[in-house]
Amino acid sequence: MPTETQLIQIILSDGTKRQVPAGCAAGEALSGAGGQPDRAVLAVKVNGVAMDLETVLTEDATLEPVTFASPEGKEIYRHSSTHIMAQAVKEVFPSVQLTIGPPIEDGFYYDFAFERPFTPEDLAKIEARAHEIIKANYPIKRMEMPRLEAIKFFKERGEQYKAEIIESLPSQTVSLYRQGEFIDLCRGPHVPATGRVQALKLLSSAGAYWRGDERNPMLQRIYGTSFQTQAELDAHLAKLEEIKRRDHRKLGKELDLISMQDEIGPGLILWHPKGALIRLLIENFWREQHLKQGYELVYSPHVARLDLWRTSGHVDYYRENMFVPMKVEASEYQLKPMNCPFHIMIYKSHLRSYRDLPIRYGELGTVYRYERTGVLHGLLRVRGFTQDDAHLFCRPDQIEPEVSRVLDFTFFVLRTFGFSEFEVYVSTKPEKAVGSSENWAQATAALEAALKSRGVAYQIDPGEGVFYGPKIDIKIKDVLGRAWQCSTVQIDFNNPARFELAYTGEDGKAHQPIMIHRALMGSIERFFGILIEHYAGAFPTWLAPVQAKVLPISENQHGYAVEITEQLKAAELRAEADLRNEKAGYKIREAEKAKTPYMLVVGGREQQAQAVSVRGRGGVDLGSMPVSAAIDLIRADVTQARQSH
């Protein structure tokens, strides 16, 4: 062991070198001799690994302060917050058993074994106690304990779940953290004291199964969030309220777009007339653009022999996400989880030449995947959905140009629907992969080259490629800055080999094509849910199910309103007349609630002048104008919205 007088060298993130006594705390080494650590510093990276500020240094090291501004800092801050919440729960409800409590994006949660769900009144008591724990500023201290001793320790405290966790760990020593009388099993690191957490709020509670398995006991989960200042917390809470206001499940019901009903089953969507009309507009645009881009449209059945999925590898690699096969006569049939094997079989139906490639098959193909009930979420996570799917069959030398075309097409489509900010990732070879290293290297290089040629900034996501090849994933950012995974471009060496695909090369010999899987919107259901939330239900005029409502002030204008509505329809606009015996103000409010882009109000004066008084969404008064001018105005809006990309 080093002596107290022995010095070690540390290197700070700015390159500064400093001599400190061996055995000093990392926080002291950061601040220098006699200095106090900056309160903004929550932890420290020692040789790149995040650790507590009290970590003892025994050898030369590089040190980097960790603050809330960094992803690691937020994670540590919120991990400490979840311990504060857990301590509060134990003090308010001593019979609770602790399980796990991780930080998550923008917050944290903790699962508790408790005999009943937590009520809003419970959460208020717990939050008040959490604030007292913060005010008490308990030091948060790391402890280490032999594994068997830790199991005994938690069992004696009645924490059976903690003991079970430790029993599953391979290490002979485990780490615990103490704050006041509260002790929890944890790897850490944590902030130095509970007082470092300044603004904490508990948000909601829900049920959750132990270890995520519905066969295990139901636990009670509490969600919360925390920030460094009350102003940041208030801004986040305001954003959460806006997210609630935009929730596609709420708006889908209010606007009569979609529904999910228990009688049909979870994860299965009913498209109502207005929602179905928007879907039709999306799909018509999709088909029209794919034909322009040189794709051939195909259709495939919803089921196939299970043997097809054995050949594709889905039975081996994807079984848990597939529904149970059905018996038909002497064969087993499978609801399709993917469209790709069908497109492969269409390719195989003819002999192919190198001159035929690339071949591009596109399909709006409905697939079925078994998702656990607990992860289903409106339109965003379902069991039956329609992929905007396509598969490209090409020669190895065509990978880069084809991927470049797909990227251009993807950004064109996403921008048309109003998305302009993207996060792009290249996912590389995972541990379990098929295909040669040369193929992987060539395909990954082609993906990166295509992105670079288009000037698209991207990040490498190491080891996150699919087993059959590397991929590009594109996340869109909505109006609230939330990132959504939609588009993907995947290179596949596996299926062409499994299905023995071939084309005749210039040399007259058989060669194996490369297959590219790609989706632009991901799925129609998920994309529609994102669109609802992005626009808060106020779709751009070209997508609105009703583009204009004609609102007569009295019954005397009903005939004129019907006449105007027919003129709008003749101009290929989607219009309705509200002929109910209601006041004009009520009709306007109802049209506003329905997010109608244009309201054409007609009274006696407008009828006499053969005009309409035009209102836009949000109460915008566009004035009185001839019907023909109103039609031109709306049609110009439709055209401009479609061309704004």
The set of catalytic residues is 340, 369, 387, 389, 391, 471, 517
**In terms of DSSP bridges, do strands 61-67 and 7-12 run parallel, antiparallel, or are they unpaired?**
parallel
Half-sphere exposure of 335 (CA within 13 A, CB side): 13
Angle at 203 between CA 200 and CA 204, to 5 degrees: 145
> Which amino acid is present at 588?
I
Q: Tell me the C-alpha distance between 267 and 322, whole Å.
A: 14
Give the end-to-end CA distance of the chain in Å, rounded to a whole number. 66
Beta strands in 336-450 (DSSP E): 359-368, 384-394, 422-427
For residues 68 and 161, the answer to whether their CB atoms sit within 8 Å is no
3-state secondary structure of 573: coil
For residues 368 and 323, the answer to whether their CB atoms sit within 8 Å is yes
Residue that has been written with the tokens 């992803």 in this structure: 71
3-state secondary structure of 102: coil
Cross-strand partners of 20: 8
For residues 205 and 220, the answer to whether their CB atoms sit within 8 Å is yes
Nearest CA to 130 out of 105, 99, 108 is that of 108
3-state secondary structure of 44: strand
Residues 6 or more apart whose Cβ sits within 8 Å of residue 120: none
List phi, psi (to 5°) of 161. Answer: -65, -40
Q: Which element (helix H / strand E) includes 310?
A: helix 306-312
**In terms of DSSP bridges, do strands 182-185 and 41-46 run parallel, antiparallel, or are they unpaired?**
unpaired
CA distances from 385 to 365, 380, 487, 537 (A): 8, 10, 15, 21
CA 312 to mean position of chain CA atoms: 27
List phi, psi (to 5°) of 471. Answer: -150, 160
Beta strands in 342-447 (DSSP E): 359-368, 384-394, 422-427
**Token code pair at residue 104:** 């998550």
Q: Tell me the C-alpha distance between 337 and 313, whole Å.
A: 12
For residues 325 and 334, the answer to whether their CB atoms sit within 8 Å is yes
Residue that has been written with the tokens 């020669």 in this structure: 395
Q: Tell me the C-alpha distance between 392 and 403, whole Å.
A: 10
